[in-house]
Each structure stands twice: as structure tokens, then as C-alpha cells.
Structure 1
Amino acid sequence: MSSDTRYVLGVDGGATGCRVAIARVDGTPVARAEGAEANVASDFDKALRHLTDAIGRAADQAGLDAATLAATPAWLGLAGAIDADTCARVEAALPFGSVRVSDDRPTGMTGALDGRDGCLVATGTGSFLGRQAGDERFFVGGWGLQVSDQASGAWLARNMLRAVVDHHDNMGPDSELLRGIVAEFGSVAEAVFFSLRATPTEFARYAPRIIAAASDGDAVARRLMQEGADWVAEGLRAMGAADGEAVCLIGGIGPYYADYLPNALTRNLLEPRGTSMDGAVLLARELAAG
């Protein structure tokens, strides 16, 4: 760490907005700012403008001049930063001498676990799994609904509509959940039309209904939840999770999988200790120290 480094900066950026936090190297908060969407895969130039604006406002709030900001180690966890070239482009465009850009999985896991060892199951609209083991970090999933995001709210709802079609084709069972969905759409065809145009967020709005139906004993809903939990268990094992290892379930869906996971994986459940924003600051502090 250079002798004039006094601050660190963390960024949590996604499809709905970005957040910037500046702290002293000991973790004491100094300033925070929020900005507009910052998904670097969806619109790189727009995301960069929003990031630069929010970083500038946080720096002004903290009273950091250009030289001090340049000496401030920064970690940015950004949606869409899934390849080395994109991360390098963002890093090159920012005013920091020491900067690391990653996707939002490391920041989410580090924040939830507060930098400690353990596993993270992050299932909301999308999903990913993570495991921290000493200096190593492992991840599964998080590649978007088209090819990934198993066990997420969007994935549950899409599979629910698949079950609607299967029953219609005499390939699967009926249930109260499925009858209610068809009645709401008016027909199986309308449910299919919805599936063709729906965004992950629009799919995920049906996830609470699936969770509630499963709790009430609906067989199809329980099967969907079990399939999601089975993928979570398989992913945790693939990352090397051992029986009794700390597991943190976060997101709008995550905690509901506790009843469907093997007891060996829920023996040591942890409440989340922080947010992705906290994780970005903690990783920036590690960058400053190392």
C-alpha cells in the first residue's frame, strides 16, 4: 500500500442502478452516492457515464481531489462484467491507479460472508452460488436465464409454465397452482405468449405464488422447489462444500430452500452479514493491503 493511500472505494453496479461508497482504509465510512443503471454488457458507454458521475459525486462529498482519488484503491462489482476484456476496458477508463473490476458475484459473496469462509446461495430474480475457502473463491451459475440462473425466481416461473404445457399435452400432472395460472391468463396459449416476451423480472413475479403453493402442499410447486434445491445442492458439492460448512441463503428465494436442502448442508446456516456494497469496500481494502 502506498504511503499516501488513505481511502478505498467500492462500487456495486447493476441493471437498476449503481452505488458508490468511500471509506478510510480501516473501513470507516466517509461518503456514499447512488447513480443510474450500470450494466456494462447492456450498454457499456451509458454504464461508464453513470459510474463516472456517481464516483465523482462521492469523491466531492468526501472532499477528495483528483490526485487523492487517483491514489485510492477501488473495487467495482458490475453486472455484465463477465469477461476479461470488458473488465479491462472499465479499468482503463477510470481514474484509479489501483483498480479491480469483477462481476457482482465476488462482491455479493464477500459482503454476505463478511470475508469469512463459507458458501453463499444467492437466489432472487437470477441466481448464483459461491464458496470462499481461504484465499480461493469458487462460483457456479449467474450467467443469465437463457443458459443459467437455475433455482432463481425467473427459473421457477418458467418451469411452472413448462408444467402448464406438459399437463395440457397429457405429459404431466395437474395441480391447483397450474389451474390458477391458466385461469389467470385465460388459456394455455396466452401463457405461452407471455413466456415468449417476458423478461426475467416479469417471470420472477410468479415465484412468490410458487413458494406459497409449495408451502400449502401443491405437488407441482413442491416438485419445482425440490428441483431448484437439488441444483443448489449439486452446485455446492461441485465447489467442494463439506457437510456442516457455513451456508448463507440470500435473495427473495434463497431462504425458502432451507426446507428442501439436505440436512448436511443446512446444519450451519448463517444470516447475511452485509451487502454487495459492503463486499466491494472490503475487497477494495484487501486490494489496498495487498
Structure 2
Amino acid sequence: MPKYYLGVDGGGTNCRIRLADENLVTLAEAGGGPSNLQLQGGEPAYQSIIAGIESVFSQLGGDAAAAKAQTSACFCMAGGRLPSDRDEFQRRAWPLANVRVYDDIDAAHAGALAGEEGAVIIAGTGSAALAVVDGKRHQAGGWGFHIGDQMSAAILGRELVRRTVEAVDGLVSGSPLTDALLESLGGDLNGVMAWSFPEYFVTDEAGGKSAGAVAVDPVTTGGHTYDGFTVTRAPTEWGRFARMIFEYYEKNDPVAVELVELELSYVDTYVRWFKARGAQRMAATGGLGERLYPILKERYGEFIVPPQGDNLSGAVILARQNFSPA
């Protein structure tokens, strides 16, 4: 019976699943829904992956149960920074021979460097960093929008909104970029503030909606329950302004140039951190990372290499690295 490897790239918006043979040749692929381990205790992620597993084995054909029994998998998950969350998810009932759960940075690393050593940053809606040097794993970042993600599009977008507010207040200089941002959010600071705290509705027992109230259920993670949350815009909504920043950066807009330099200062910190641990090369992944590639290449020279593959290919590589016969 042939052996199979299955990789999952679990994202906050959707997940992707790939089934490959022993040579990592793709046999089937499927997509699924949100797969962040921090959402509802990982239950949506579990359901999405189970459905995706059924889909790829249906595409494969033949005796699905027998094929699953010969399949080893790696799930690389958004929201998988905490070992306790990964371990709990790994212990769920999976219809496969072997399962290992990783943080999504591990998939980015394996995909970008084809399973070899070196350093990788993710600079997308969020950000994180990982280097593997002489078999040792070095990880930093990936702690989320509120306390980390310095290299992310979400943080960069939030900085643009803050700079715009300060410019309108007369505290700092503005530019065509801040004017455009202000216009996109209603044309004045009242509109900016209203956008930053969106109106939510609470459904009463009779099914009606009460406007103007904010309610968030307590969240349990890592064995602890937290409440007292304030609802605000999701990181993806802050991150969408990064596109505007680069549009104006091409026009040499002074605020756009300043913000891109801020972004590069965060990358500088990680580059120094990587080099101090012996990394000889770095790839940048994620939408913002890809946009920064030519700037990073000019800034850091041969230390920067283009990504060779994506997160999904990395997840399949990790499955084989973890479970291939000795």
C-alpha cells in the first residue's frame, strides 16, 4: 500500500488541504472555512479540516479508509502560537495514521526554503519570524495584533490612521496620503472614530435586534477564560490600508515614505536577530513581504532570497519530514 502525505494551511479566513504521494506529487486538493485555533476553541477549524480530508480522499478514489490509514499529516494553523492549543488540537479524533500540529510560521518556513535551513518572516495581515540553524529552531513574533505583529499590514495600516488623525489635529504634517485616508473614512475625524468602533447588534430572546450595544462572549483559551472585551475593527480591516500606503509610496508621498521606513525598521530588528543566531539567508512571505521584496533585496543584498513555495507546500514537506520512514 502506498504512503501519502497530507498538508493543511489553516488560515483565519479559510484553509487549504493537499494530499500528495511519497514524492510530494500533488494528488488532490480541497478548500475549507476559517481555521484559526483561537476561534471557538478550534471547532470551526476541526470541522473545516475534516470536510477537506473527506474531499481529497473522495478525489483520490479507491478504498478511502485504507488510504487514510497510510496517511501522515501536518496541520499548520493560524492562531497556533501556544503549544497548549496545538497539543489540544492534535489530540482530537483524526481519521489518519499520524497528525502533527504546527504554527503557521512553520509552514511558511518549510515552503519558502523548500524544507531547508535559513530564516523566514511572514509579513501579511499579521507577522512572525522563524529561523532554523544547525537543526535548532528560533521563533519570534506571531503574538497577534494587540501585543505584537510589528511587521504586519495591520499595524502599518493602523499607523497610517493614527498619523492621519494627528495631521488633522495639527500635531504633525499631513500629505496627499493622509488626505486620501481621511476621505475614505468619511472626510472628518468623527467618521474615522465611528469607523474604528463599528456598531454591533445584540439579538434579544425574541429574535429582535437592539442597536448600539456591544456584547462579546467570554473566550476560553489555554485553560483560562477571559471577558471584558471591547469590539473594534479586525486586523484585516486595518491591513487593507497598506495597499494605499504603497500606492502613494510610488508617488514619493512623504508620509508613505516615512511609514515604509517604519516598516523596514521593524524588519531590521528581525534581520539582526536572525544573523545573531547564524542564519545565512532570509525569505519574506505574505502579501506585504512579497511587496517589500525588491526593497529588501536592495537593503540586505544576498541575505534575501525569493520564496520557493507557499504555506501549503510547506505543510506537505513537514508531513514527510516528520513521518517518512527512516
TM-score higher than 0.5? yes
* Alignment match, 1:76: 75
* Alignment match, 1:40: 37
Q: CA 1:255–1:39 in structure 2 vs 1: closer, same or farther (change >3 Å)? A: closer
Q: CA 1:8–1:243 in structure 2 vs 1: closer, same or farther (change >3 Å)? A: closer
Matches within 5 A, 1:44-55: 44-55=42-53
- Read off the aligned partner of 2:148 and give its amino acid letter: S
Q: CA 1:91–1:243 in structure 2 vs 1: closer, same or farther (change >3 Å)? A: closer
**What SS does the aligned partner of 1:96 have?**
coil
Report the aligned-residue RMSD: 2.4
Following superposition, the deviation at residue 256 of structure 1 comes to 3.8
CA contact (8 A) 1:127 1:142 kept: yes
Following superposition, the deviation at residue 35 of structure 1 comes to 1.8
* Alignment match, 1:267: 302
Identity rate of aligned residues, in percent?
29
* Alignment match, 1:19: 16
Following superposition, the deviation at residue 42 of structure 1 comes to 0.7
| Matches of 2:279 and 2:171, distance apart in 1 | 39
Following superposition, the deviation at residue 208 of structure 1 comes to 1.3
Following superposition, the deviation at residue 266 of structure 1 comes to 3.1
* Alignment match, 1:60: 58
| Matches of 2:44 and 2:107, distance apart in 1 | 22
Q: CA 1:261–1:242 in structure 2 vs 1: closer, same or farther (change >3 Å)? A: farther
Structure 1, residues 215-249: CA drift from partner, whole Å, max 9, x if none?
Answer: 22222111111111111110122233689932222
| Matches of 1:28 and 1:256, distance apart in 2 | 29
> Are 1:229 and 2:294 an aligned pair?
no
Matches within 5 A, 1:1-290: 6-43=3-40, 44-62=42-60, 63-93=62-92, 94-184=94-184, 185-196=186-197, 197-240=232-275, 245-258=280-293, 261=296, 265-289=300-324
Q: CA 1:136–1:244 in structure 2 vs 1: closer, same or farther (change >3 Å)? A: closer
Q: CA 1:142–1:29 in structure 2 vs 1: closer, same or farther (change >3 Å)? A: same
Worse-matched range after superposition: 58-67 or 19-28: 58-67
In the superposition, the TM-score normalised over structure 1's length comes to 0.89
* Alignment match, 2:211: none
| Matches of 2:80 and 2:101, distance apart in 1 | 7
- Count of residue pairs brought into register by the alignment: 287
CA contact (8 A) 2:133 2:277 kept: no
Structure 1, residues 152-181: CA drift from partner, whole Å, max 9, x if none?
Answer: 221111001111222234332222211222
CA contact (8 A) 2:119 2:274 kept: no
Worse-matched range after superposition: 124-133 or 71-80: 124-133
CA contact (8 A) 2:132 2:279 kept: no
- Read off the aligned partner of 1:89 and give its amino acid letter: E
Structure 1 portions without partners, runs of 5+: none
